[in-house]
Amino acid sequence: MIHVLIADDHSIVRLGMKQIICSLPGGMLVTEAKTFDEAIALIESQHFDLAVLDINMPGGNNLQMIHAARLRQPGIRILIFSAYEESLYALSYVQSGADGYIEKNSPDEEIKTAIHAVLMGEKYISKAVRDQLIRKYTGQPEHQNPFSVLSAREIEVMNLLMKGLPLVKIAEILHLQLTTVSTYKARIFEKTGVKNVVSLIEKAQMHHVTNHAVEVAVK
C-alpha cells in the first residue's frame, strides 16, 4: 500500500488530485490536509511515501513546508503541485529539496507521470524545464527571463513585496531578520534590473509572471 498525503487549502484541488492518484495501479491510501499545521501534524504521526504539496497554504510559507516535512520524514518524496509557472519556479524548489514540480493546469497523464517518477525515486520536471536547464549548463544562448534566476527565498520575498507589504511585515511572515529581508530585496532588484517595487511589478507584467507572483496568500 502506498501512503500519499495531499496538502492543499482548496477542496476541489484535493478532490481532483485524489481521483488521479487513486486511478494509478497498485494500492493507494490518500490522506488530505488543508493547512500547514495539519499537514505537519500528519507527517509527525504517520508514515507517508509521497507528499503532494501546494506551496502556499495557511500557516506556512513555501520553503517551510519542504523543510518541515524533510525534518520529520527524511525519506518522504515531495511533489510540488502549484499554480505558479513551472519555468520560473521549478528549479528553485527542486534545488530546495522537492523531488518534483508540476503545474496544477497540467494534463492528468502528465500528473500521473510526475507521481510515478517521484515514487520511483526520480526527480521530475517537464521537458521544457529540462531543456532550459540543459541550455543553462551547456552555454547555449537563450532569451532569459530575469525572474528565472531568483532563488526560492528571493521569490518568496518578491511575491510579498509585490503585494505591497512593508519589509517589517515580510520579515515577520518569513521568520527572518529585517536586515536579511533588506538584503533579499536588494538582490531581487539587482537581478531583475529594477530600482523600485513599481518597476518590479511592471517588469513582471512584461514577462507574464504577475498573475502568479501576486497570488501569494498572506494568511
- In tens, the pLDDT along 166-216 reads 999 999 999 999 999 999 999 999 888 888 888 888 788 777 665 444 343
Segment (H or E) for 128: helix 127-138
Question: What are the CA-CA distances from residue 49 to residues 71, 116, 157 (Å)?
Answer: 15, 12, 31
Strands (E), 75-185: 77-82, 100-103
- Residue-range domains of the chain with CATH: 2-132 (3.40.50.2300), 146-213 (1.10.10.10)
Q: Is the pLDDT score of 161 beyond 70?
A: yes
Task: Determine what percent of the chain is predicted with pLDDT higher than 90.
Answer: 44
Among 14-18, 105-109, 148-152, which range has the highest average pLDDT? 14-18
Q: Which three cell numbers stand for residue 177?
A: 531578520
Q: What is the pLDDT of residue 92?
A: 78
pLDDT digits (tens, 9 = 90+) for 44-93: 999 999 999 987 777 766 677 888 899 999 999 999 998 777 767 787 78
Instruction: List the grid coordinates of 204.
Output: 513582471
pTM of the model: 0.66
